[in-house]
Chains A and B, each alone.
Chain A
Amino acid sequence: MDPVIANGKPVAVELPCSLEKFLIAQNLLPRSVVVEHNGEAVAPSEFSQRQVRAGDRLEIVKIVAGG
């Protein structure tokens, strides 16, 4: 189990793993989060093809609706 750094914290992940699979494993809804992968913007339609690798940095933000 290699770690990925998600929001600054190491998270163990079994590789290979797509970004989509990673999000689901973290109990996140892939259509309701914004993700930056190693400092790069990722569109939701790319989540299923994009692979995460050991040591990758992910910034993940969940949708909120309050106003």
Chain B
Amino acid sequence: MELNNEEIRRYSRHLILPEVGLAGQKKIKGTSVLCIGAGGLGSPIAMYLAAAGIGKIGIVDFDTVDYSNLQRQILHTDADVGRSKAESAKETIHGINPHCEVVIHNTRISSENALDLIRPYDIVVDGTDNFPTRYLTNDACVLLKKPNVYGSIFRFEGQASVFAPHLGGPCYRCLYPEPPPPGMVPSCAEGGVLGVLPGIIGCIQATEILKLAIGKGTPLIGRLLLFNALDLKFRELKLRKDPACPICGEQPTIKELIDYETFCGIVPEPENVGNPDEVTVQDMKKALDNPSLGIKVVDVREPDEYEIAKVAGVPLLPLSELQSRFTELDPNTQYYLHCKAGVRSMKALAFLRQQGFKYVKSVKGGITAWSDEIDRNVPRY
């Protein structure tokens, strides 16, 4: 592994650091990193790793760039909306450092392809946005003995750690042996996220990768670093390897990759077979257009969201206030409940059923589906 004159000039601020030097920079060049997800976390990770001289970066992402990504996913620009994230990422990385080899995997990582995807790389970085992929990434890394540089974010808070049971540390399952039931932990799409937050957490992940590459410093193994942007505070929790861990413990029960959607309680919706508790946005339109049907539509989102986008004529009763205010509704009236995407309206439905409401339905896809299918003037957020 040699550096040419142009590279020596490019990396000069590294080369004069005694902890990096020529030997360290060559190690960085000789390191390959698989970045799972080219979103909020993946953006700063891939960009800084490329700039720092990582020799090969793999990008796994099947998604396309959406306007709502641009507030934080700085790999992608306005002109990239609608393009493949992996393609857009490759272009940005090459713009930063043409010496970096970029391999794009424009596919969804799954139990079938994860081991083959990860095997050729030295380090894996988890920048995914959902539980099934996080458990899959963890398990594949444990089985292949690859360090898994973890980061996750929500609203104003972030977490980071390095999982490496083969180096004596814990894995993701040592912390969280089982995923929460679906819908219990909101995603960034539901709960929001400060745009800068993935920048901070992603840069911590990139720092750990560079340290692992050069073999210097104290890695974030066995520690969970926590960041709160509102308080601007970092704190740290000690972690331990769980001897009872199902994958890296003393008597592992998981010896190969499993079905992670099922493990996380996500039941694939059978095609063309509707959920009897759900109605479509077309049904909701019919109810609003024909008051004689006697169906009332109620928005269960929060007031801030109602201010951003609403459907004319639909009153607000936030899910957070439903417990104290459900008596404002009539248990014998038929209601269609909607939220942003259909998750919270299902929760509201379950609650009202418990209170004896018999005729409640949840609007599938919520106001997002309304915007897509009925009225484009209602903004998507």
| Shortest Cβ distance from A7 into B: residue | B235
Contact A29–B238 (Cβ < 8 Å): no
Contact A66–B188 (Cβ < 8 Å): yes
**Among B5-13, B177-185, B281-289, the stretch in contact with A:** B177-185
Chain A residues near B127: list those with CB within 8 A: 67
Chain A: minimal CB distance from B380 (Å): 19
B47 sits at the interface (CB 8 A): no
Residues of chain B from 285 to 310 with CB closer than 8 A to chain A in the complex:
none
Residues of chain A from 18 to 67 with CB closer than 8 A to chain B in the complex:
29, 31-34, 36, 39-45, 59, 61-67
Contact A29–B184 (Cβ < 8 Å): yes
User: Chain B: interface secondary structure?
Assistant: loop
Which of A61, A62, A67 contacts B153, CB < 8 Å?
A67
- A59, B223: Cα distance in complex, Å: 13
Contact A65–B129 (Cβ < 8 Å): yes
| Shortest Cβ distance from A62 into B: residue | B185
Contact B198–A63 (Cβ < 8 Å): no
Contact A43–B152 (Cβ < 8 Å): no
Chain A residues near B129: list those with CB within 8 A: 65-67
- A41, B41: Cα distance in complex, Å: 27
Chain B: minimal CB distance from A7 (Å): 10
Contact A32–B176 (Cβ < 8 Å): yes
- A14, B116: Cα distance in complex, Å: 51
| Shortest Cβ distance from A63 into B: residue | B176
- A40, B244: Cα distance in complex, Å: 18
- A67, B154: Cα distance in complex, Å: 8
Chain B: minimal CB distance from A67 (Å): 4
B174 sits at the interface (CB 8 A): yes
With contacts A34-B176, A43-B242 known, is A67 near B37, CB below 8 A? yes
What would be 5 A-B contacts, judged by CB atoms less than 8 Å apart? A32-B180, A34-B237, A41-B240, A63-B185, A64-B153
Query: Considering the complex of A and B, which 5 residue pairs feature the smallest CB-CB distances, nearest first?
Result: A45-B244, A43-B242, A64-B154, A66-B188, A41-B238
New A-B contacts (15) at CB < 8 Å, excluding given A41-B237, A45-B245: A31-B180, A32-B185, A34-B175, A41-B238, A41-B240, A43-B240, A44-B242, A64-B152, A64-B153, A65-B129, A65-B131, A65-B152, A66-B154, A66-B193, A67-B153
